[in-house]
Amino acid sequence: MKALIEKIQTSLLNLIGSGIEVLPGIIVGLVILLLTRLGANFIERLTTKVGKRTLRSQSLQLLLAKTSYVAAWVIGILAASVLAFPGLRLGDIIAALGLGSVAIGFAFQDIFKNFLAGVLLLLQEPFRINDQVIIEGYEGTVEQINIRCTQIRTYQGERVLLPNSTVFTTAVQVRTAYEHRRTDLGVGVDYNTSLLEVTELLEHTIMGVDGVVSTPAPEIDLVSFGDSSIDFVVRYWTLPPQKQVRQVKTKAIIAIKKAFDQAEINIPYPIRTLYLYDQQRFNDNSPVSTDTESN
């Protein structure tokens, strides 16, 4: 019994001694991690400034900053591991990472997938920061493209976070990709109205609306014979931001209504004709009454 107790005491002393020997390395490793955090933030700010001066694309600026930030952390963690455990060599760390890569890949496959998709989005630039887009039914302005997700601010002032893998594999409608954007505005006139006169009036009116560009030129199309009107579509171009499109559309509607009133052109209401009749009289299943004369 005494020998067992002495063996346990010896083992505890050896364990404590080993811990004391490793403690300075652990402290150094923690200091390295703290310095890595400060250095990674500094490098991110530095690369952001350098990117703004050297790169025109805001997406590439963001990619440079994020890549440098991640690289600084990887180097810092490797350095802290080597200093905290002197017997651990860099080759051993790489071998351990290679053996655990399969397990890590399965555990963090969504994170890696979103990270790679984010890098490809920043490199290919299907859309840029401040572009107005529609993704998965969400419409708004792109605020950030992070490592994991793309951040959109909707027109209602809501924040939407979409995984980069979803953004990369789904259809994206970029509403501010080009210099101008077309709006189709429908309007109907009475059947007794001169169509040539209306066409000239609409063309002249829409050209006078503030915000409508002259190139591409507006177009006036006759599209259908409606139930109570002949239908036109006024196609005009504006700057692409949603606010600009909305404001110009309001001005266009006001201008067309005013022009029609001055020209005494009627915008008809829907017309419905109602027929009232005795249903029993036209019922084929009702017995036919015959009048007979009695002699």
Residue 141 within a domain: yes
193 shares its domain with 168 = no
- Note the residue count of the chain: 295
100 shares its domain with 136 = no
- Total Cβ atoms within 10 A of residue 171: 7
CATH number of the domain enclosing 70: 1.10.287
Residue-level pLDDT at 212: 96
Angle in degrees, CA 269, 212, 204, rounded to 5: 60
Residue-level pLDDT at 89: 60
Strands across the sheet with 159-163, in order? 159-163, 149-154, 138-145, 132-135, 172-174
pTM of the predicted structure, to 2 decimals: 0.64
pLDDT tens track for 152-187:
999 999 999 999 999 999 999 999 999 999 999 999
Q: Cα(160)–Cα(166) distance, rounded to whole angstroms?
A: 13
91 shares its domain with 162 = no
149 shares its domain with 206 = no
The domain total for the chain is: 3
pLDDT mean by block of 10 residues, the chain; 295 residues:
62 58 71 85 85 74 79 81 66 56 57 82 86 94 88 94 92 94 94 92 95 94 90 96 95 96 88 66 57 48
Domain span holding position 231:
181-263
pLDDT tens track for 55-105:
776 767 777 787 788 888 888 887 777 776 666 565 655 565 554 555 555
Residue 29 within a domain: yes
126 shares its domain with 196 = no
CB 184 within 8 A of CB 235: yes
Residue-level pLDDT at 96: 58
